[in-house]
Amino acid sequence: MTSTRTRALDAAIDLVGTEGLRALTHARVDERAGLPKGSTSNHFRTRAALLSGTVDAIAARETADLGSPYSPETAADLVEMLCGVIEYATTVNRTTTTARLVLFMEASHDATIREAVSRGRVMMEAWAVPVLARLGAQDPPTAAAALMACGEGLILHRIARHDTSDPRPPLDLVVRAALD
């Protein structure tokens, strides 16, 4: 049986991803999750705590969705894997991805959310930097930053503009530049 806390966080992600940040209230989360009134407040006393918990839940969900860490053997493998991640993030996982992007913008002026978003970034860097080093990047941290910025930009455009263009050309360009 799914815990009350997990049900509340799943509902929070769904609300933010489908209706935006203003929809995120304790009462709306209770309603969306089918929980008794006040249940979400028992786990997240403040809106800030609910926002931070939602960011952490998104990071945990996306990490679990990616499965065990994959270590591409070639630049082409890396591009192919990233294309798959972008496709998944903008189709099957669209609501969660949209919620993450909404919360990214909120992080621009909310230090608590910024801290939670930063934790997710550290997890991605922990995967990307060693992969790029193994593939031959001269400056793996900078290469990882460029690659993550490109990927996030492609995801943002796919979500915001319903862009369905092939992500391979820009990803291939950035990966090749990172490895030169």
* Burial (Cβ within 10 Å: 0-12, 13-18, ≥19) of residue 111: exposed
What is the rounded distance in angstroms from the CA atom of residue 136 to the CA atom of residue 59? 28
pLDDT in tens, 41-100: 999 999 989 999 999 999 888 877 766 667 899 999 999 999 999 999 999 999 999 999
CB 135 within 8 A of CB 75: yes
Check residue 67 and give its pLDDT: 62
Percent of the chain with pLDDT over 70: 97
Alpha helices, DSSP H, located in 20-139:
26-33, 39-43, 47-66, 75-90, 94-107, 111-134
Task: Identify the weakest region by mean pLDDT among 26-35, 47-56, 151-160.
Answer: 47-56
Check residue 171 and give its pLDDT: 98
Check residue 69 and give its pLDDT: 65
Percent of the chain with pLDDT over 90: 81
Q: What is the band of 119 on the pLDDT scale with cuts at 50, 70, 90?
A: confident
**Can you state the percent helix, strand and coil of the chain, rounding each to 5?**
80, 0, 20
Asked if the model's pLDDT at residue 148 lies above 80, the reply is yes
Total of domains in the chain: 1
Check residue 63 and give its pLDDT: 77
Under DSSP, is residue 163 helix (H, G, I), strand (E, B) or coil?
coil
What residues make up the domain containing 124?
A: 4-179
Check residue 64 and give its pLDDT: 76
What's the CATH code of the domain at 21?
A: 1.10.357.10
CA angle at 70 for the pair 132 and 55, rounded to the nearest 5°: 90
